[in-house]
């Protein structure tokens, strides 16, 4: 049976992992909007979109592994949840001062989702 901590962690990881997928899928569409930009700049934009998705996938994977394999290492699991929450807050802050200042709704949702997942992970680390 899963405890409250593990459930919170799995839910947070699920949202973050799926958001990473949702982040990477529109990359080609975004690049089409940069048709007047050099090839090198389009490659950098591609790199950054995919890198943020990969960061979310890695964070989700760390949380799932910590929840699944934590066992008697509760202190380590708690700190992995907290470190993951810090990473999500950093991504949320970056997006809040950059992409979320545009009219694109996707970017406005991102800091909220990442902050909510971070809050769930902090809560998971204390229950």
Mean pLDDT of the chain: 93
- pTM comes to 0.90
Contact 91, 69 (CB under 8 A): no
Q: What is the pLDDT of residues 33-54, one digit of tens each?
A: 888 889 999 999 999 999 999 9
């Amino acid at each position: 049976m899963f405890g409250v901590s593990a459930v919170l962690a799995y839910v947070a990881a699920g949202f973050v992992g799926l958001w990473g997928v949702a982040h990477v899928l529109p990359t080609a569409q975004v690049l089409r909007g940069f048709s007047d930009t050099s090839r090198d700049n389009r490659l950098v934009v591609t790199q950054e979109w995919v890198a943020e998705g990969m960061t979310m996938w890695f964070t989700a994977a760390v949380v799932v592994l910590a929840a699944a394999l934590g066992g008697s290492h509760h202190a380590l699991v708690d700190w992995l949840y907290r470190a993951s929450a810090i990473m999500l807050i950093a991504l949320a802050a970056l997006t809040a001062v950059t992409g979320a200042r545009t009219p694109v709704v996707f970017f406005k949702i991102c800091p909220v989702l990442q902050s909510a997942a971070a809050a769930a992970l902090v809560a998971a680390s204390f229950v």
